[in-house]
Chain A
Amino acid sequence: MTEKPPVVIVVDDDVSFRNFLSRLVSTIGLKTVPFDSAEAFLAAPAPDCPACLVLDVQMPGLSGLDLQRQLAGGSRPLPIVFTTGHGDIPMTVEAMKAGAVGFFAKPFRNQDMIDAIKEGIARDRETRKQLEELAEIQARYDSLTSREREVFALVTEGSLNKQIAHKLGTSERTIKAHRAQVVQKMKADSVADLVRMADRLKIHPQITQKSA
């Protein structure tokens, strides 16, 4: 799978600053998608490529920090590099706590910004990878039968075949067959692999707890 080229999304109400950032971003061979307000950015479709957000803290309407809060609730919180004309410490702390990649008071060193953008894109790339993997695991999990899902849950909980058979009221042989099916469908290399997938899928063996 070849990756689409990453973009830098610039949200700043100051046109000359947007132009500068586009120019800066172009020096590292990347494209910019500019927006003059947080609202305009939210109205546009999410980028289908690794991306990093360069966001001005103070803007008319929704502020940079407001936008950060709003994005944090979504499935793919874009990495954010903040810029500000006049930042104070509480503002910086709030932004960094909420996961900002960087926080730069204007004027700043170009290299610092480039580094932050690169890190942001790397983070997003990682996020996208994780999301893709999760989607893949989810798809495999979705292909399991309901009995297989029960077996999957109990196996990843650490139960032995015998215990599972007893819990589900069936023979150990049958459980072995289900288990082989789960491992194959989930493309797992080992039980440890299965356990990791269950973690990613946030699967909890509800049934065992009930019947125990």
Chain B
Amino acid sequence: MIGANQQQVHHKSAQLRERANEVWSEGALRLVFERSPDAILLLDDGVFIDCNQTAVDLLRATGKDELLSLSPSDLSPIIQPDGTSSAIKARQMIAIALDRGSHRFEWLAKRRDGSELPVEVLLTAIPFQQTQMLHVVWRDISRRKEAERQLAESRKAEDAFRTGQGQVLEMIAQGATLSDVLASLVTLIEAQSEGMICSVLQLSEDGKHIRHGAAPHLPEIYVQAVNGAPIGPKNGSCGTAMYRGQPVIVTDMLTDPLWEDYRELAKLSGLRACWSTPIFTGQGKVLGSFAMYYREPQAPTGSEARLTEVATHIAGIAIEHERSQNELQHTRSELAHVARVTTMGELAASIAHEVNQPLGAIVGNADICLGWLQETEVDLKQVAEALEDIASDGHRASQIISRIRSLVKKHVPEKSPQNLSEIAREVIGLVRHEAQGKHVTIHLQLGESLPPVEADRVQLQQVLLNLVMNGIEAMHETEVNQRQLTVRTTVSNGSVLAAVSDSGMGIQPERVEQLFKPFHTTKPAGMGMGLAISRSIVESFGGKLWAEAKAGGGAIFSFSLPVRSQEIQ
């Protein structure tokens, strides 16, 4: 069986050889050459002697004759993409092919119309009549090259997009304003797609109205019209998206029923397509919307989904961050208010004294005047003098009251230029009697013509008041004749410094930081919030507040605030 089988194989291969010889001799293989989808040329001693039709087509020659009349250097640019000269590189490649029998490499060819074409070249050396002919195959790789180029480009774009997202998140972390953050986000998203205009809108706190977020490239008239508009089931793309809590795709604003009430606005603004997606909190509450606009009717292709996802995600973070910051700020200012009212309560007796002083004089002087007026002969000059005193005391009383009122009433902190020495004088005016009652002598060392700092007046008064009250309190066990409190203001290194030093029991250096923890108190009636609040107030204006032990007993509490930037030049 095996022998028969072997015989059969031998027979078969002999048949095949015969057939192959036949094909070769008949020139049938010539057709392989002619019809190859790759361009093939024969190079003999630096001269093309033959080529196939594919080569003619690929190189855009008029015919074989033209192509064969050219030298290889006519079919390449002077320089290859790697910077080497085509002539030199060609000689190197040929040498390798002759040496190894064949060589495959990438090449930039120049077609007859001057256009360039990336090709893969396969050189095969063919020994023929004592010379070495070269069989040259050129395969068009322009598609592959283009794909590679596109891939690299999209990778680069993706990297840039990611970096952009990182930058926007960084802005949020560094406390940039919400409108700056959203404007950067919108610009970043817009850069990812040609002809697209984006906007971020916020939903008002009452959940009923649209509030402007960012739309740096939408027409101003459109932005203004949308700001403050109500949301609802038929209120354009964004108003409806926020109302439904679902994306709303409008491919043509001029025909879509959702835009019925806003058609004219869309026309005026030159906008045709608007796809809006709601922005949610982590808990699923609608915060606003992100929209993509086009100037032509358009439907999403699917490639926008990712951009929308990124945009709504980041915008959500930014808006939520801003809202929680606002809430924190609000809580802080409420707390500061409570602390102020508490302090004023502690000062009530001193304040009563301060007000009763002028009131006593007013009532008394008025009584004297009444007595004079009942006399038969009235000395008008005397009466006038007394009335002048009454007026000036009345003025004084009202000033004291307005100073107290400003400290007690609720207000939204506002930054404005402040003079620390002036504030120190006002605060000392409030605690003067408190200090006297506790046998504390106050020394003022206030810098003249201090540069202004940027802060809220009431809150600065509160900080200083708190430090002074603490200082007075700290000396309650000190010998009566040694209770000294010094308030100093000065300027140093672009900052204005205020320091309150006492001659009290002092502080242990290792306990300094504990003083600033909330609810840390040494006073029987204290809430223990004073220093924590004071520090947060000073820090909110870009300053620092710290404590140190004083040599020879006592403590110094200081805070510094940067000099207002306009004043530095």
Whether B360 and A17, one on each chain, are in contact in the complex, defined by CB atoms closer than 8 angstroms, is yes
8 Å CB contact of A86 from B352, B361, B367: B352
User: Is there an interface contact between A20 and B361, defined as CB atoms closer than 8 Å?
Assistant: yes
Asked if residues B437 and A106 are in contact (CB atoms below 8 Å), the reply is no
* B436 and A17 contacting across the interface, CB-CB below 8 Å: no
Q: Which of A55-63, A122-130, A141-149 contacts B (4 or more CB under 8 A)?
A: A55-63
**How many chain-A residues does the 8 Å CB contact rule pick out?**
25
> Would you call A109 an interface residue if the criterion is a C-beta within 8 Å of the partner chain's C-beta atoms?
yes
Can you offer 6 A-B residue contacts whose CB atoms are under 8 A?
A16-B396, A85-B356, A86-B356, A86-B433, A106-B357, A107-B359
CB of A30 to closest CB in B, whole Å: 14
Cα separation A60 to B436 with both chains bound (whole Å): 5
Q: Which of A18-72 contact B (CB under 8 A)?
A: 19-21, 23-24, 27, 58-60, 63
Tell me which residues across on chain A come within 8 A of B364, comparing CB atoms. Answer: 20-21, 24, 107-108, 110, 113
- A84 at interface by CB-CB < 8 Å: yes
Is residue B451 contacting chain A, with contact meaning CB distance below 8 A?
no
Q: How many residues of B contact A (CB 8 A)?
A: 30
B424-440 interface mask toward A, CB cutoff 8 Å, 1 = contact, 0 = none?
Answer: 00000000110011000
Determine the chain A residues whose CB is within 8 A of the CB of B393 once the complex forms: 16
CB <8 Å contact, B353 and A59: no
Task: Quote the shortest CB–CB distance from B432 to chain A (angstroms).
Answer: 8
A14 touches B357 (CB 8 A): yes
Can you list the 4 inter-chain pairs with the closest CB atoms, starting with the nearest?
A106-B360, A85-B353, A107-B363, A86-B353
B386 located at the interface, meaning its Cβ lies under 8 Å from any Cβ of chain A in the complex: yes
For B359, the closest partner residue in chain A by CB is: A107
Give the chain B neighbours of A21 by CB distance below 8 A.
Answer: 364
B354 proximal to A (CB < 8 A): yes
Contact B358 A84 (CB under 8 A): no
User: Which of B356, B371, B372, B436 contacts A106, CB < 8 Å?
Assistant: B356
Contacts of A113 in B (CB 8 A): 364
| Known interface pairs A16-B361, A16-B389, A86-B350; A105-B436 also in contact (CB < 8 Å) | no
Q: Say yes or no: A107 contacts B371, CB within 8 Å.
A: no
Q: Nearest chain B CB to A66's CB is how many angstroms away?
A: 9
Whole-angstrom distance between the Cβ of A68 and the nearest chain B Cβ: 16
Q: In chain B between 331 and 359, which residues have their CB closer than 8 angstroms to a CB of chain A? A: 349-350, 352-359
Asked if A92 lies at the interface with its beta carbon under 8 angstroms from chain B, I say: no
For the complex formed, measure the closest distance between the CB of A18 and the CB atoms of chain B, giving whole angstroms.
9
| Smallest CB separation, B527 vs chain A (Å) | 24
Chain A residues with Cβ below 8 Å from B365 are 20, 23
Extra pairs beyond A20-B364, A21-B364, A85-B353 (16, CB < 8 Å): A16-B357, A16-B358, A16-B361, A16-B392, A16-B393, A20-B365, A23-B368, A23-B386, A58-B437, A63-B436, A84-B353, A85-B360, A106-B359, A107-B356, A108-B363, A113-B364
- A32, B521: Cα distance in complex, Å: 49
Residue B51 at the A interface, CB < 8 A?
no
Query: Nearest Cβ in chain B — how far from A83, in angstroms?
Result: 7
Q: What does the 1/0 interface line of B369-405 toward A look like (CB < 8 Å)?
A: 0011000000000000010010011001000000000
Q: Is B119 an interface residue (CB 8 A)?
A: no
A69-91 to B contact mask, C-beta < 8 Å, 1/0: 00000000000000111101000
- B interface majority secondary structure: helix
B358 to chain A, nearest CB (A): 7
Q: Is B362 an interface residue (CB 8 A)?
A: yes
Report B490-507 CB contacts with A as 1/0, cut-off 8 Å: 000000000000000000
A83, B360: Cβ atoms closer than 8 Å? yes
Q: Shortest CB–CB separation between residue A55 and chain B, in angstroms?
A: 14
Inter-subunit contact B360/A108 (CB<8 Å) = yes
- Kindly name the residue among B364, B372, B441 whose own CB sees the greatest number of chain A CB atoms within 10 A: B364
* Cα(A24)–Cα(B352), bound, Å: 23
A63 and chain B: residue at smallest CB distance: B436
B433: which of A17, A20, A85, A106 is its contact (CB, 8 Å)? Answer: A85
Cα(A166)–Cα(B352), bound, Å: 72
Q: Is the CB of A58 within 8 A of B353?
A: yes
Distance A106 CA – B441 CA, assembled complex (angstroms): 24
The docked-state distance in angstroms from the alpha carbon of A182 to that of B545 is 82
Report how far A106 CA is from B353 CA in the complex, Å: 8
Chain A residue numbers with a CB within 8 Å of B361 are 14, 16-17, 19-20, 106
Q: For residue A63, which residues in chain B have a CB less than 8 angstroms away from its CB?
A: 436
Which residues of B have CB within 8 Å of A88? 349
Chain A residues whose C-beta falls within 8 Å of the C-beta of B357 in the assembled complex? 14, 16-17, 85, 106
B371 touches A27 (CB 8 A): yes
Smallest CB–CB gap between B391 and chain A, Å? 11
Between A24, A105, A106, the greatest number of chain B beta carbons within 10 A of the residue's beta carbon is seen for: A106
Interface residues of B in 238-288 (CB under 8 A from A): none
Q: Which residues in chain A, 86-142, are within 8 Å of chain B measured between CB atoms?
A: 86, 88, 105-110, 113
| Residues A58 and B433 in contact in the complex (CB < 8 Å), given A19-B389, A84-B353, A85-B354 | yes
A56 to chain B: closest residue by CB? B357
B372 to chain A, nearest CB (A): 8
Chain A residues contacting B437 (CB-CB under 8 Å) are 58
Q: Which residues of B contact A59 (CB under 8 A)?
A: 436
Would B368 and A27 count as touching, CB distance under 8 A?
yes
| Chain B residues whose CB sits within 8 angstroms of the CB of A109 once the complex forms | 367
CA distance in complex: A59, B349 (Å): 14
Complex Cα spacing A84 to B392, Å: 20
Residue of B with least CB distance to A109: B367
Alpha-carbon distance between A20 and B360 when the two chains are bound, in angstroms? 9
* Contact for A85 among B352, B367, B386, B389, CB less than 8 A: B352
Q: How far is the CB of A10 from chain B (nearest CB, A)?
A: 12
Measured CA separation A26–B392 after assembly (Å): 21
- Central interface residue in A20, A63, A83, by most chain B CB within 10 Å: A20
Q: Chain B residues near A14 (CB, 8 Å)?
A: 357, 361
Interface pair B360/A107, CB less than 8 Å apart: yes
Q: How far is the CA of A16 from the CA of B360 in the complex (A)?
A: 10
How many whole Å from B280's CB to the nearest CB in chain A?
58
> Complex formed: what's the CA distance from A14 to B358 in Å?
9
A19 to B396, CA, bound (A): 15
Measured CB to CB, the closest approach of chain B to A118, in angstroms, equals 16
Name the CB-closest residue of B to A84: B353
Q: Least Cβ distance of B439 to chain A in Å?
A: 8
Cβ-closest chain B residue relative to A12? B357
Q: Which residue of B lies closest to A60 (CB)?
A: B436
Closest Cβ of chain B: how far from A189's Cβ, in Å? 48
- Provide the residues of chain A in CB contact with B441, threshold 8 Å: 60
Interchain CA distance A4-B415 in the complex, whole Å: 64
Smallest CB separation, B352 vs chain A (Å): 4
**Beta-carbon nearest neighbor of B358 in chain A:** A16
